[in-house]
């Protein structure tokens, strides 16, 4: 699988449970040396050799971008998920050698902003941690509003409040605390950019509220990686490589292409970056577009599919791969 970015051979230097759901992993370069620098908001794709299956999941880098000695990620266990986060929690041990991708940033800070307003929900805190490192080094103006389920599941909430006094505001769901978004947005000085990372509902809420309040589209940023949805198995004909590929119930189309030895590009594997966009040559059936890359018109047009998250139901699907 050569289709992502360049790969890095790393060794797991630390595995630290943070709370009931989240575990932190630290990677150093195998054999020593510096890792590539990155910018706040970047993610890396971690390769997991799970029996016969190669799992590839994207995780945000949360460490200080200026620290090239190690990368740190936090993984929230999803017991209903397809197995990547469970593998990280149960199989990955200190000293293990792994392969991760070079960092890619789809959620970078807009450094023209005069102020950065960050809104995090749950594990969506991780990209902001690297961004806050970056901004505090350059004396940037930022403010974090972080919504957590309970104090005990408030991943890094206490550390962040201590590290950035006065800039961090925590909201506990179980205490019926909620971000007063309208008031918050109404009081921001000109030149503020807002960033949101968390559940889909939260992201939509921020985009629609900011839009209604007259915020420029360019000043609202979000990141959400989707897990590939499961669905009925289907068959794909790849016209360029002349192969017929079976996509399993819990397998993504991208994973099926990779397993068949077809070189398919990707960066995020979560429906966000657009890298894996593939032309459809012919089809008889219906697309299940789950990505947030294609426009509604493109989705209806039947000429494109994002194999990382989207599926197909029907008789035939022929792709330009």
Joined together, the tokens standing for residue 37 give: 């620098």
Q: How far is the CB of 218 from other proteins (least distance, A)?
A: 4
Task: Rank residues 209 and 241 by Cβ distance to other proteins and give the closer one.
Answer: 209
Task: Rank residues 114 and 315 by Cβ distance to other proteins and give the closer one.
Answer: 114
Q: Does 142 bind other proteins (CB under 8 A)?
A: no
Task: Rank residues 114 and 286 by Cβ distance to other proteins and give the closer one.
Answer: 114
Give dist(CA 141, CA 167) in Å, integer.
9
Q: Which range of residues in 73-81, 185-193, 246-254, 305-313 is near other proteins by CB under 8 A?
A: 185-193
Please give the residues from 110 up to 129 whose contact with other proteins meets the rule CB under 8 A: 112-114
Give dist(CA 33, CA 41) in Å, integer.
23
Q: Does 180 bind other proteins (CB under 8 A)?
A: no
Task: Rank residues 117 and 236 by Cβ distance to other proteins and give the closer one.
Answer: 117
The answer to whether the beta carbons of residues 109 and 184 sit under 8 Å apart is no
Q: How far is the CB of 182 from other proteins (least distance, A)?
A: 10
Task: Rank residues 162 and 218 by Cβ distance to other proteins and give the closer one.
Answer: 218
Q: Pick from 79, 218, 249, 297: which binds other proteins (CB under 8 A)?
A: 218
Q: How far is the CB of 224 from other proteins (least distance, A)?
A: 22
Q: Does 222 bind other proteins (CB under 8 A)?
A: no
Among 216, 226, 169, smallest CA distance to 194 is for 216
User: In the sheet where 234-238 sits, what is the strand order?
Assistant: 243-247, 234-238, 311-319, 278-288, 304-305
Q: Which range of residues in 19-27, 76-84, 180-188, 286-294 is near other proteins by CB under 8 A?
A: 180-188
Number of residues this chain uses to bind other proteins (CB under 8 A): 19
Q: How far is the CB of 208 from other proteins (least distance, A)?
A: 12
Task: Rank residues 218 and 284 by Cβ distance to other proteins and give the closer one.
Answer: 218
Among 134, 165, 115, 112, smallest CA distance to 67 is for 134
The answer to whether the beta carbons of residues 307 and 229 sit under 8 Å apart is no
Q: Does 251 bind other proteins (CB under 8 A)?
A: no
DSSP 243-283: EEEEE-TT--HHHHHHHTT-----SSSSSSS-TT-EEEEEE
Strands 104-105 and 42-50: antiparallel
Per-residue contact track with other proteins, 18 to 57, x per CB under 8 A? ----------------------------------------
Please give the residues from 187 up to 216 whose contact with other proteins meets the rule CB under 8 A: 187-192, 212-216
The answer to whether the beta carbons of residues 50 and 87 sit under 8 Å apart is yes
Mapping DSSP to helix (H, G, I), strand (E, B) and coil, where does residue 318 land? strand
Joined together, the tokens standing for residue 303 give: 């000429």
Give dist(CA 234, CA 248) in Å, integer.
7
Q: Does 183 bind other proteins (CB under 8 A)?
A: no
Q: Does 135 bind other proteins (CB under 8 A)?
A: no
Residue ranges that bind other proteins, judged by CB under 8 A: 112-114, 185-192, 212-219
């Amino acid at each position: 699988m050569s289709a992502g970015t360049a790969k890095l051979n790393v060794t797991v230097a630390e595995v630290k449970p943070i709370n009931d759901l989240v575990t932190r992993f630290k990677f150093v370069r195998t054999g020593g040396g510096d890792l590539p620098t990155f910018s706040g908001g970047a993610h890396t794709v971690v390769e997991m050799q799970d029996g016969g299956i190669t799992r590839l999941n994207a995780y945000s880098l949360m460490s200080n971008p200026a620290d090239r000695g190690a990368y740190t990620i936090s993984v929230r266990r999803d017991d209903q998920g397809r197995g990547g986060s469970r593998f990280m929690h149960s199989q990955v041990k200190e000293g293990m050698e792994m392969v991760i991708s070079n960092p890619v940033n789809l959620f970078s800070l807009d450094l023209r902003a005069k102020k950065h307003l960050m809104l995090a929900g749950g594990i969506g805190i991780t990209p902001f941690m690297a961004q806050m490192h970056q901004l505090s080094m350059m004396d940037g103006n930022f403010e974090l509003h972080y919504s957590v389920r309970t104090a005990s599941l408030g991943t890094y909430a206490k550390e962040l409040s201590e590290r950035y006094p006065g800039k961090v505001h925590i909201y506990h769901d179980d205490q019926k605390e909620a971000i007063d978004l309208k008031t918050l947005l109404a009081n921001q000085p000109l030149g503020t950019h807002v960033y949101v990372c968390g559940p889909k509902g939260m992201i939509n809420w921020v985009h629609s509220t900011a839009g209604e309040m007259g915020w420029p589209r360019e000043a609202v940023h979000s990141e959400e990686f989707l897990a590939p949805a499961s669905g009925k198995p289907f068959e794909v004909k790849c016209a360029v490589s002349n192969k017929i590929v079976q996509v399993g119930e819990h397998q993504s189309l991208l994973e099926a292409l990779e397993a068949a030895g077809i070189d398919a590009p990707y960066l995020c594997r979560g429906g966000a970056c657009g890298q894996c966009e593939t032309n459809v040559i012919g089809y008889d059936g219906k697309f299940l577009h789950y990505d947030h890359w294609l426009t509604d018109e493109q989705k209806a047009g039947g000429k494109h599919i994002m194999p990382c998250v989207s599926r197909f139901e029907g008789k035939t699907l022929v792709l330009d791969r």
